[in-house]
Amino acid sequence: MSQSGNTADIKQVAAPEEHSLKDDLKDLQFSEVYDLNQRTIEDTYADGPLIQDVAPLSLLRSEYEANDNHVFVKEIDWLINNGYHDFRRVKGDGDCFYRAIGFAFFTRLIENPDKDLAVVTTLSTLLATANLLEESGIEKLVYEDFYAEMEALIRWVVVPREGKSILTIDGLLEYFRDPEGSNVVVASYIKAHVEDFENFLFHPETRELMSVPDYCNRVMGLGKEADHVEIMALCDAFRWNVEVAYLGGHSKDAINFVKIPDAPYPGFDPVCLLYRPGHYDILLK
């Protein structure tokens, strides 16, 4: 990871600022947006599967319109007018980022016009991350089952399993359940690149600076919302290109897309996620 580009991004997103009355007002506004967004998510996601079928973005628009959240409606209108017409809902259980990015990446792999090359490249990266875990002092018992499953899933994209065809999107929907291994990779990457992250490991609630071991122990637990540090570490470890559309309830003219990393890795088109306060879904054109 280059310190000149990515570290600057972390500083902008994660570093706490001096407290003031103005900050109190900003926090109040964010809290109101967050609470409204959470109510919308709870109303529509409560009994849904971990990852739902593709739905039109206009459906999400109608849900916010029903809650009189007109700023969100305008932001969704901007997305629709700029070619983003569909999305996949991801269950908001604290692991939505890991589940969304993993499913979106495997979708890209399945739809890649040169699947053989894409699979070889992905397997090579997977081996490199396994070596990273070992170098970081993570016991094999923690991750070897996950890596065996990941390797099998990647190979399934081009090699039929016994009694089954090659992996399809429907098959991926049935299979994709467990995000635990991704959390382990994130923690290991941070441990292996302490100099890049140690000044930006803030507790998401108290905003106090955490030690690398404490931060990584938190990351490795399930049900923990991903912060900017985890997102960058995961993308760097797996060499994923990601674009995140931030639906913050504030912009009236355009949506802010954050690209991770700054300089895209060659070989794969970026996956696109839709972020609303406290939640990630998969955004589709």
CATH of residue 140? 1.20.1300.20
Report yes or no on 232 lying in a domain.
yes
Q: What pLDDT does residue 241 have?
A: 87
Residue 123 lies in a domain: yes
Domain annotation covers residue 154: yes
Is 133 inside any structural domain?
A: yes
Q: Please state, as a whole number, how many other Cβ atoms lie within 10 Å of the Cβ of residue 121.
A: 18
Report the pLDDT value the prediction gives residue 245, as an integer from 0 to 100.
92
Is there a domain that residue 21 lies in? no
Find where tokens 């310190």 sit. 3
Q: Is 223 part of any domain?
A: yes
- Residue 258 falls within a domain, yes or no? no
Please count the helices (runs of H) and the strands (runs of E) in the chain.
12, 6
Residue-range definition of the domain harbouring residue 229: 6-16+94-241
In this prediction, residue 251 carries a pLDDT of 62
Q: How far apart are CA 2 and CA 8, in angstroms?
A: 10
Number of Cβ within 10 Å of residue 283's Cβ equals 25
Three-state SS at 202: strand
Q: What angle do CA 32, 245, 233 make, to 5 degrees?
A: 100
Number of domains in the chain: 1
pLDDT at residue 215 in the model:
63
Look at residue 84 in the predicted model and tell me its pLDDT.
Answer: 95
Strand residues in 82-153 grouped as ranges (E): 86-90
What is the pLDDT tens value at each position of the chain, 285 positions in all?
Answer: 444 444 334 333 333 343 333 343 344 354 555 555 555 555 555 566 778 899 999 999 998 888 887 888 889 999 999 999 999 998 876 667 777 888 888 898 999 999 999 899 989 988 888 888 788 787 787 667 777 777 888 899 999 988 889 999 988 887 765 545 445 544 555 565 556 556 656 665 666 777 767 766 665 554 455 566 667 777 777 788 889 998 876 666 788 888 887 656 666 778 899 998 878 899 998
Give residue 147's pLDDT. Answer: 76
What does the pLDDT read at residue 90? 85
- 3-class DSSP assignment, residue 143: helix
pLDDT of residue 283: 96
What confidence score (pLDDT) does residue 78 get?
Answer: 93
Whether 207 maps to a domain, the answer reads yes
